[in-house]
Structure 1
């Protein structure tokens, strides 16, 4: 029996490598096409040097999680968004490198068109490869047969995932356990007890993989199965059962030779992603503060002084990154009052003025927070920072509430554009906001930030009933 090709996204490095090589070929051909009819004379050596450096830079931008088409539920949208994210990082870094290193490069307009063309062609290429992979996996002779040993909640969840996702190309022959387990559906085949595994594998050479959920205290039963798999070209997977105490998706990681399970997958835990997000924040906030903000400040300042006494700006202590407090800046939309730092604004709050209502509905009151962004206390997109009192109260009654502080707070956020903006009268509203914040933290991309910014503006134009 020959060893099967494993298309599980954790180990399918050959497919990822092939996809990246295809990307590079498309990129080189596109680059040469745009160079062909350029005015002036350019040395071939200079062009070759630029291409070589570009290839290295592209690999640096895509070698980690740059390819997703092999994953079990990689939609066309996800594939294209990942290509756009890769190309955005590549374009920014290549422009910086070519400028600083004085490499030969195209003029900005031509280079921008070249990058856009590459993005479209690579997206089409990857979508086509995805369809080929799915078709390949669905062929009967390419299906991977697996058996499950043990029947914990993890095992039942694995069975469900495998059997309900045809694009995986897997089939579960059945499961072994001390007795039939009601966690599995009736159609799942009960193959016997764990001591029957070796005999079954000897009689069924069509099995490719074994997933073991037995606890470590039963190592005397597990080791013979591992040894048999190693000697007979079978892939053995150990599945730690953490669902009996953590009902949350876990993420696998390695520290040297030590395997670890983490609760959250955080794209912003990587240095390169934090650099990209911070650079984006600085560029956008500087452009805004140097162009539109002076006019907004002048308008707000004049109207505020006419309509209500007191300062133009309002500083409120809020909880930021890693639970540290900072002073969040806003244009004052309420009369000066003693409850400003403890009581949340409500729909018909008597503390608000008519001008304050207008600012809140149009988000004008949030504009000074671009200063917080420039200072590094906030990001343009992220979980909305809460008053310190809210943090102290909700952290005691809502599970995972403090997780939202693992990234910088934002002027706007995913929860705010998906219906969880404004007053939180009931606990479920704050729980929904926290779930949205954690989802954003685990799915961050530059393009998601841009989409949230677009949705924020669109909601202002259309009118947000929760804006008060």
Structure 2
């Protein structure tokens, strides 16, 4: 039954996606030529509607290529939104290429820009609404996916907790198969000796293998039984706690390799895009904040004897040390003592406290960005002393050094600064590293304006 439901849902999605494309084109035309009252040229609204009849099958094929017509029961909406944006980018590139080849120069460029925007917005909104309708539908006991669980260890228990705590996923556990009868409040269906007979009898929509390491030798038998009975199989790896949030599968002469830490910035184009944004952003921000930096320089010089810029060694990309710049906020030689800065730290000058309060002391790090030592966004860098401490006591701490450190970061805009939990900061840093994209960077920069400027004196570096 679940397969028939998915087919109906796909048909609804395909039809409504086509309608959104048509509506987006009509709205784009109306905005360009009715609201903004531009010159219509030789192509009328009927011409743009005719263009839509060509664009619709093209976009639907692209959507299918991006797996947008597969079940999104387990997928996060943000990932689906990312696929919608990527599919539309590819679609508009193909459309513009075809228009150039066939010399359709009468088409309004602004109309295509509006179409691109409206289509992404409309498709995302439609799918968001559909998701929520289906969630409510499943919570009432409809469109349920019946699952047989294979295993009874910690992995199986974790899976059961996830299913029971989220009814909107629409999973119903028929029962479990294992060597032992150890799970309560769930039907025991038998052991692995009769797995095929059990799968064939209950005709579930899916089997989920949650085998511990010592049971993994049973997997070939489970796969054969599922294929023989026509039951879809999903496997939870016993090493799942070591898996990244977005695992990347590589291939070596037919041997699959799972990269335990997927880093989008290892991709050359991604790295170039981020570096370009860093350079342009740093130049713009240096010009924008130059009056403030001039005032900070004069104030630092007048507040106490010593240099204006404080230089300190930090650990950056690939564990390489670099010199980080800040406006000096402490008296000379006061910073030689290793330790966190506290609220009433006697080492700070009054003017230095003011600079730190508004994070103005961090502004010289824009020059670190230009040099390539830092990025506008990334994990905050630490001194070598603390790196040596944390790498022994904090799991995954050194992963943060696989990307350039940043002036601001995902941890900072979530309130994790200074004497807050180091472990939570690292969790946020790793999430950022594994899920990086330019939109994520821009989001963090905007959040910094509202959350990350005022320093509540918890900042340790």
TM-score by length of 2: 0.77
Cα deviation for residue 22 of structure 1 reads 6.5
SS at match of 1:396: helix
Greater shift after overlay, 190-199 or 439-448? 439-448
- Work out the CA distance in 1 between the residues paired with 2:447 and 2:342: 23
- Work out the CA distance in 1 between the residues paired with 2:174 and 2:55: 49
Task: Give yes or no for the alignment of 1:167 onto 2:168.
Answer: yes
Task: Give yes or no for the alignment of 1:392 onto 2:391.
Answer: no
Aligned match of 1:240:
237
Cα deviation for residue 404 of structure 1 reads 1.7
Deviations 1:395-430 (A, max 9, x none): 1222111112222211112222333223x3xxx732
Aligned match of 1:412:
408
User: Which of 275, 280, 284 in structure 2 is aligned with 1:283?
Assistant: 280
- Work out the CA distance in 2 between the residues paired with 1:80 and 1:231: 33
Greater shift after overlay, 256-265 or 167-176? 256-265
TM-score by length of 1: 0.76
1:161-310 aligned within 5 A: 161-181=162-182, 184=183, 186-204=184-202, 206-214=203-211, 222-242=219-239, 246=241, 251-256=246-251, 257-271=254-268, 273-289=270-286, 291-310=287-306
User: Which of 309, 312, 317 in structure 2 is aligned with 1:313?
Assistant: 309
* RMSD value, Cα: 4.7
- Work out the CA distance in 1 between the residues paired with 2:5 and 2:128: 20
Q: Is the 8 Å Cα contact of residues 317 and 341 (structure 1) preserved in structure 2?
A: no
- Work out the CA distance in 2 between the residues paired with 1:294 and 1:97: 43
- Work out the CA distance in 2 between the residues paired with 1:220 and 1:359: 61
Q: Is the 8 Å Cα contact of residues 379 and 400 (structure 2) preserved in structure 1?
A: yes
Deviations 1:198-245 (A, max 9, x none): 2222332x31222234468868855454334323321123333226xx
Cα deviation for residue 66 of structure 1 reads 8.3
1:111-126 aligned within 5 A: 116-126=117-127
- Work out the CA distance in 1 between the residues paired with 2:364 and 2:53: 43
Give the direction of change, closer, same or farther, for the CA distance of 1:63–1:385 in structure 2 (3 Å limit).
farther
- Work out the CA distance in 2 between the residues paired with 1:18 and 1:452: 36
- Work out the CA distance in 2 between the residues paired with 1:159 and 1:300: 57
Q: Is the 8 Å Cα contact of residues 399 and 430 (structure 2) preserved in structure 1?
A: yes
Task: Give yes or no for the alignment of 1:466 onto 2:458.
Answer: yes
- Work out the CA distance in 1 between the residues paired with 2:278 and 2:238: 41
Aligned match of 1:4:
3
Q: Is the 8 Å Cα contact of residues 247 and 262 (structure 2) preserved in structure 1?
A: no
- Work out the CA distance in 1 between the residues paired with 2:431 and 2:16: 28
- Work out the CA distance in 2 between the residues paired with 1:5 and 1:335: 73
Cα deviation for residue 386 of structure 1 reads 0.9
Residue-pair matches, total: 446
Cα deviation for residue 189 of structure 1 reads 1.5
User: Which of 338, 345, 355 in structure 1 is aligned with 2:341?
Assistant: 345
